[in-house]
């Protein structure tokens, strides 16, 4: 499995059988890629945690160009349908639900403590035979992260640390304790001044309270598990 970061909260998780594009705001200021680069990579599915501009991003244009279905809450799929995505090209789900894609790949929708224009904010657990990835979406710290850890043996947790709109480094370090992932990657920081953070501070906090290994990725980097 390969996990590529495009900056902010945008990732491509390549399971070997599926290419899952998450929160594709590819035109964010940190991204080394352009939307066309992602289109050329041919994602098989587009997962959206919520409909704020920095997460919905270029998902509609990418879906139209590739035919990849958009996965999100029921209300979010209605929203993208209004933007020209056929209903048959959406995969609505809701918090607590699971979608099976085949080849042992499952997508489980988790809660997230945040806001959305329509529907509820969420996160995703992507469980595959090669490993399990948790993308927390935009969220505050919440105790039920411990339940996510009980349900899934998490190989990589992608956690926001930018504060102001999400957890900051202190809260995200506690989230790491709750989730017990083997690896954790800080995301959703330094994209604009309001969410400026030092990822080394997060790393130090995690190492003080957890055995999880922190990977500080640069936009464009690929993490292999």
- Contact by Cβ (8 Å): 12, 20: yes
pLDDT of residue 216: 98
- Which two three-digit tokens encode residue 153? 């043996």
pLDDT of residue 48: 98
DSSP, res 194:
G
Q: In sequence order, what are the residues at sequence separation of 6 or more whose Cβ sits closer than 8 angstroms to the Cβ of residue 202?
A: 161, 169, 172, 173, 186, 214
pLDDT of residue 102: 87
28, 26, 24, 30: which is closest to 45 by C-alpha?
24
Instruction: Tell me the domains of the chain and their CATH numbers.
Output: 2-224 (3.60.15.10)
Please state the rounded mean pLDDT for residues 200-209: 97
What is the value of pTM for the model shown? 0.98
Q: In sequence order, what are the residues at sequence separation of 6 or more whose Cβ sits closer than 8 angstroms to the Cβ of residue 126?
A: 13, 15, 20, 105, 106, 107, 132, 133, 134, 135
pLDDT of residue 200: 98
Percent of the chain with pLDDT over 70: 100
pLDDT of residue 26: 98
Confidence tier at 122 by pLDDT (50, 70, 90): very high
pLDDT at 137 over 90: yes
pLDDT of residue 159: 99
């Amino acid at each position: 499995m390969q996990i590529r970061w495009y900056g902010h909260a945008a990732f491509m998780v390549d399971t070997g059988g599926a290419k899952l594009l998450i929160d594709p705001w590819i035109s964010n200021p940190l991204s080394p890629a352009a939307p066309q680069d992602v289109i050329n990579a041919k994602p098989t599915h587009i997962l959206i945690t919520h409909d704020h501009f920095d997460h919905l991003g270029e998902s509609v244009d990418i879906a139209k160009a590739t035919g990849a279905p958009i996965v999100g809450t029921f209300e979010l799929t209605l929203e993208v349908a209004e933007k020209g995505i056929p209903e048959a090209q959406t995969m609505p789900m809701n918090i607590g639900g699971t979608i099976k894609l085949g080849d042992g790949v499952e997508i489980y929708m988790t809660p997230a403590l945040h806001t959305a224009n329509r529907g509820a904010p969420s996160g995703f657990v992507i469980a595959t035979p090669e490993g399990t990835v948790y993308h927390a979406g935009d969220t505050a710290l919440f105790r039920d992260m411990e339940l996510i850890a009980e349900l899934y043996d998490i190989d990589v947790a992608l956690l926001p640390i930018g504060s102001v709109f999400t957890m900051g480094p202190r809260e995200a370090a506690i989230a790491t304790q709750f989730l017990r992932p083997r690896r954790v990657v800080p995301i959703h920081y330094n994209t604009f001044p309001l969410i400026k953070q030092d990822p080394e501070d997060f790393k130090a906090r995690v190492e003080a309270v957890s055995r999880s290994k922190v990977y500080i990725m640069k936009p464009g980097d690929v993490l292999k598990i």
